[in-house]
Every structure is written in C-alpha cells, then in structure tokens.
A and B are shown apart, each in its own frame.
Chain A
Amino acid sequence: MTVKFVTSHPMDKYLRTERLPHIWCPGCGVGSVFDAFLHAVDSLGIDPNKLYIVSGIGCTGRAAGYAKFDSFHTTHGRPIPFAVGLKQVRPDLHVVVMSGDGDLFSIGGNHFVHAARRNNDILVVAMNNFTYGMTGGQVAPTTPTGTRATTSPYGNLEHHLNLPYFAAACGATYVARWSSLHVRRLKDSFEEALQRKGFRFIEAIGPCPTAWGRINAVREGIDMMRYLRDNTEIRDFEDPKNVGFRWGEKIIVGKFKDEEKPTFEESMAELREKLRRGLK
C-alpha cells in the first residue's frame, strides 16, 4: 500500500503557498472560514487583482498574509479605518476586512460603529472565537458570560456582546452569523455579501481549542464542532435583538438583515459630480 500525501489545495491559486504552513492551531476555525471565503471569491469569478484584504492583529489577522491578493496587515484594531480610507480613493476594489472579535469589537469598536453608520462600502468578516487567541486566551467582549479565560479564571463576570444586533443597530446593511461548521451557508453568505454594496457584516463563530476550549470543557476542535451541531438553529431574518445567547443555550444563526441604502462613497461621488457641473 502506498501512502499518498496531498500537497495541494483547490484554493491554492488564491494562496501565498510559499507562506505555508500557516500559524493556525489544529482544530482552529479560522482556516474553514478563510476557505469558505476563497470558495465564494472563486465561484463569483471576482478578479483577484481587484480584491483587497485588510486585517488587524490576532490569529484571524494573519489571514491577509496568506491570501494572494493585495493585502495589508494593520495595527491592532485598525483594519476598518484603513479599509475606509482605501475605498475612498479606489472605488474599483472589493475591500474586505477579515479580523477577529477582539480586534474588531474591543480595541477597534469605535471604528466599527462609525463605518457602519456611514455605510462605508466594505465587507467586514469577524471570526469570533470568544477570546484573544494569539495572546493566550484572555477575556474578550465576546467571551460568553460565565465562561473562563486566562484573565477571568473564576468565570467571565461581564455581559458579552451580541454582534449581529450591534452591527444592525450601527447601520450595517447586510448582517449574518454562521459558524465554521456551516461552511456551505457561510460561503453562500460571502457570495451574497460580496455582491451587495454598503457596510456588510458576517460573524463566523469558530473553535479556539488551544486558548478557550481547553479551559471550557470543549477541549478539542471537534468538541466545539459537536457543540455547534447540537446547539445552533438557522432562523433567517430573525430580529437580531433575539440572537444573543448564553453559553450552553441555543445559538441562532442565519442572515438577519439585507437592506439597501446609499453608501458614503456613492453620495460623495454624486457630490463631486454636482460640483463638477457647477451645481451647488
């Protein structure tokens, strides 16, 4: 019997293969989410030269370094303002922010609020693993209340954030939540969002066995996948107000919002055109 090692991946054409192996741990969810995104790009046939990935600091933040598109790895919490600035001068690009929950909602929270409010034309993908994985599993604004982290050794005393509700309230036009278990639906959602305009937000819940699962009785990646299998329910267009969850209870996933309104970039282009024609 000969053992055949698979040395390629269907998405290799979108990967900086010379940068592999990646830093993500066995059982981590980032890879599946990243893979679903690349499949969406592939099936839409988006020109890879016109796709720009921006990420912040953290495990998910490294995604920009593996994707073979123009990509920028900013400081912690700042991928959104970079993407906003870039999009103003490059309307020809699909600008995608891919980062983690700590990066986007703690240190970068203010940027999220205002880019969503302005309806800046960017897609924000939040990989939510409930913790700061790269720094060793400290408590995050997304760590489920009562669960443990290296800085909440007695259980998290804080209330955690309901990300879709937050995004919808800030004005995001497209809001969905899936998990690294729901890779097909996640891919479909990426496809849909990449074809929309405005501030689009997709949360992808995934395991961090190394930092979070290990101390919360979901030791292996597979344990978290089983948890997600048994405890998620798809409810499209559920009011995002109702999709908050407690650890141990049901997690509602689905597409919660899909609307249209003028983007900041469209309004700015319109203003320029008016001024060019001498109108006020």
Chain B
Amino acid sequence: MLKAGFHYLSGNIAIAEGAIAAGCRFFGGYPITPSSEIAEHLSRRLPQVGGTYIQMEDEIGSIVAVIGASWGGAKSMTATSGPGLSLMMENLGLAVMTETPLVIVDVQRGGPSTGLPTLVGQGDVMQAKWGSHGPYEIIAISPESPQECFDLMIRAFNLSEEYRVPVLVLTDEVLSHLYEKVKIPPASKIKLVKRKYMKSPKDFDKQLKKWDLVPPMPPTGEGFAYHMTGLTHDARGYPNVSEEMQELLVRRLNDKIRLNADKIVDIDEFMMDDAECVLVGFGSVSRSIKEAAIRLRNEGKKVGVARLRTIWPFATKYFDELADKVRKIFVAEVNYGQVFLEVERAVHGKVPVELFEKMGGMIHRPHEIVEKVQEAYA
C-alpha cells in the first residue's frame, strides 16, 4: 500500500488506494466515466501487490467475475457509474442471495440513461436499495472527501466481510475528481475484518439445525464440496423452492442487516448541539451544506448538519429521534428526492421536511442553500 503520511489524491485514486489497503486483490470492471481512473489506477497497482485486474466485457461480466473471485477467497471489487450499476442489478441480487462479500463503487453521474457522463448526479440512492428484484437489504456508504474515500473503502470491505453482503460505495463525479490531502495511516494501524470460514464440512449440519444470522462461508478447494445457488436454498446451499425456505432464508438475509442497523449506521453531525433547523445531505453536496450552515450560524440562525456517511440501511431511528428535538429538516441532494423520501418516512410527520433538489450537472452552491433556508425563516 501507499507509504504512511500525507498524499495528494483525487477521490477516485483514494478509492483505489483504500481498496488496496483494505486487502482487495481482485478488480473486474468495465470503463465508464466518471469512474475510469479507479480501474486505470488498479490496473497498474494490483499486479504490483500480487493481485489481478481484469477488464471484463461489460458490467454484467464484471460483477459476476467479482462474485467468482470472492468465492475463490479474494477480497474483490468493481467500480462503475449509474448506467453500469443498472446493468449490475440482477447480479447484485445474486451476491445478496449467495451472501457474497464484495464492494461496488458507484461514481454517480447525472441520469437517467446516458444523461451527463462527465457531470455530477446523486440519483442512484434508491436504485442501490431497490434496483434488484425481491426483498433485500444491502449496505451503502457515502464519503464526502478523498480522505473518506480512502477510509470508507476499508470500512466497506470490513462490513462486506462481517455481514457477507455486497457493500456499495456511492461517490459522485465532483468528489471523484476532487484532489485533497489524504493522510494514509501505517498498515499496522488499519483494522481489517477477517472472513469467517467454516472449519469442517460438519458445520453444514450445524447450520442446517440452526442457521446463524451471518453463517460462515465454506472455503473453496478444501474438500467441502459446497454448492451455492441463486435459487432459494437451505443452509447446505441446496435449492429448496418453497414458501417455508423463502421465509427462513430471505427473512434472515434482510434481518442480518436490519438487526445490526445501529452498528452500521454512521451520521456525521456538524454544529448539531442546539440546532433547530437541520440540513441533511451526503457525498460532495455535504461540503456546500456545511459551508451554508456556517454562514447561517454567522447570521445567528441555529442551523446544524446531519450528514449521512451511511445511506443504507437508512438511519430511521436517528431521524425519528431527531424529529423530537428540531423544528425543521432540509434535505439537499442532486436528484428529485430520494434520501428526502426516507427522511420524511423516518420523522413520522413530527416536523416538516423540505427538499432542495437539483436535477444534476452541478452540486448545490452554498449561497443557494443559504437562500433557501433564509426563505423558510422569513
């Protein structure tokens, strides 16, 4: 990995270096703006550290190759943008169903469709959670700076190993090309979660009797003769297409995230102590939001920021409790209201929630947010 100390990195390069620091040794991907620097950087770096970069034929092949490499025992990832993420959706479901640890970086751009390839968007929030068919839970995290791109890639890999779930890292075009100082810690200071493996094929019987919320994975090539399938299956991995097994398996796949939401959810609070009015955002927009909050504080308005470092599972409990303490919540995002819908759901009508939407192409400028809040105060 990079030498400990300060480096000047873009969001995309910090993502790639964070992945290497996290122990990622396989990248399968397909070029797409604005994520391509991640693939380019890893094509140079991975062979240096004994890993593999392979350019797949499309995003469908990319995510499936990542699933294959992960079952082979390597920490594995891909990186893409909205159109590529759309293509990955079916096999995101396969990764959920087969409980495959992997990381997908989605550098969001303006959509729908080809949209704004080189300009920012934040419209993939709902797709990340609902884009594949069937009821499922995933984890999505969202950095706001190159420093967090590095740090949260490590967390992303750790979460994916801990919960055996695909983790999405939702960045955006502005952040991906933003260069800042990044502090790289020495390798000894980076805590990595080790994958939990079964110890003997007898563990299948234990799991058949009582299925762990997050079962250990059978290792490959060790005589376990495991089977895994995207079909509804039992703890042995054998297909069992029945209402009962669907209930057992799919409820557990959801519950392993739902019941651990408190441990996963991470909110960055900024000037929240006495806040009456809360600005909510994520990704590069948080930078404008924080600047706007400072300006509004200077005017004497009690404004704070609750910035989502994790988006999924959603911080429902946090916002429910927050709604008892504050008078108004604003959500600023580069889409037509996605996190906004979740916040609205979470506050149970206790406080008004207002959306500052932007269709894409540019993040909110701080003064635009200031003016919106001033209007509300007037």
Chain B binds chain A: yes
Contact A75 B69 (CB under 8 A): no
Cβ contact of A70, chosen from B74, B220, B238, cutoff 8 A: B220
Contact B238 A19 (CB under 8 A): yes
Contact A85 B28 (CB under 8 A): yes
Interface size on B, residues (CB 8 A): 46
Given contacts A52-B220, A78-B64, A82-B64, A275 and B228 within 8 Å (CB-CB): no
Given contacts A70-B226, A78-B91, A85 and B76 within 8 Å (CB-CB): yes
Stretch from B45-53, B330-338, B349-357 forming part of the interface with A: B45-53
Answer whether residue B135 sits at the interface, using C-beta atoms and an 8 A cutoff: no
Given contacts A85-B69, A89-B26, A114-B56, A65 and B226 within 8 Å (CB-CB): no
Q: What does DSSP make chain A's interface, helix, strand, loop or mixed?
A: helix
Contact A73 B227 (CB under 8 A): yes
Contact A89 B61 (CB under 8 A): no
Contact B225 A48 (CB under 8 A): yes
Contact A90 B227 (CB under 8 A): no
Contact A111 B91 (CB under 8 A): no
Contact A85 B68 (CB under 8 A): yes
Cβ contact of B73, chosen from A16, A82, A89, A114, cutoff 8 A: A89
Most B CB atoms within 10 A — which of A54, A65, A89, A114?
A89
Cβ contact of A85, chosen from B26, B227, B230, cutoff 8 A: B26
Residues of B within 8 Å of A69, CB to CB, are 225
Residues of B within 8 Å of A74, CB to CB, are 64, 67, 94, 230
Contact A72 B228 (CB under 8 A): yes
Contact B57 A110 (CB under 8 A): yes
Contact A83 B230 (CB under 8 A): no
B341-352 Cβ-contact flags toward A at 8 Å (1 or 0):
000000000000
Answer whether residue B318 sits at the interface, using C-beta atoms and an 8 A cutoff: no
Most B CB atoms within 10 A — which of A72, A111, A113?
A72
Contact A81 B68 (CB under 8 A): yes
Residues of B within 8 Å of A84, CB to CB, are 28, 54, 56, 61, 65, 68
B residues 73-89 near A (Cβ < 8 Å) are 73-74, 76
Closest beta carbon of chain B to A142's beta carbon, Å = 21
Contact A75 B48 (CB under 8 A): no
Chain A, interface size category, equals: 35 or more
Cβ contact of A73, chosen from B26, B69, B74, B228, cutoff 8 A: B228
Answer whether residue A88 sits at the interface, using C-beta atoms and an 8 A cutoff: yes
B259-271 Cβ-contact flags toward A at 8 Å (1 or 0):
0000000000000
Closest A residue to B90 using CB positions: A75
Closest beta carbon of chain B to A226's beta carbon, Å = 34
Residues of B within 8 Å of A81, CB to CB, are 28, 56-57, 60-62, 64-65, 68
Closest beta carbon of chain A to B371's beta carbon, Å = 48
Stretch from A171-179, A228-236, A264-272 forming part of the interface with B: A264-272
Contact A88 B52 (CB under 8 A): yes
Closest B residue to A114 using CB positions: B57
Closest beta carbon of chain B to A132's beta carbon, Å = 17
A residues 57-76 near B (Cβ < 8 Å) are 64-65, 68-75
Closest beta carbon of chain A to B327's beta carbon, Å = 48
Contact A65 B239 (CB under 8 A): yes
A residues 82-108 near B (Cβ < 8 Å) are 82-90, 92-93
Contact B231 A272 (CB under 8 A): no
The 4 closest A-B pairs by CB, nearest first: A85-B68, A85-B65, A73-B229, A86-B68
With A70-B218, A75-B64, A272-B47 given, name 10 new contacts (CB 8 A).
A49-B221, A72-B229, A78-B94, A81-B57, A82-B65, A84-B28, A85-B68, A89-B26, A89-B73, A111-B57
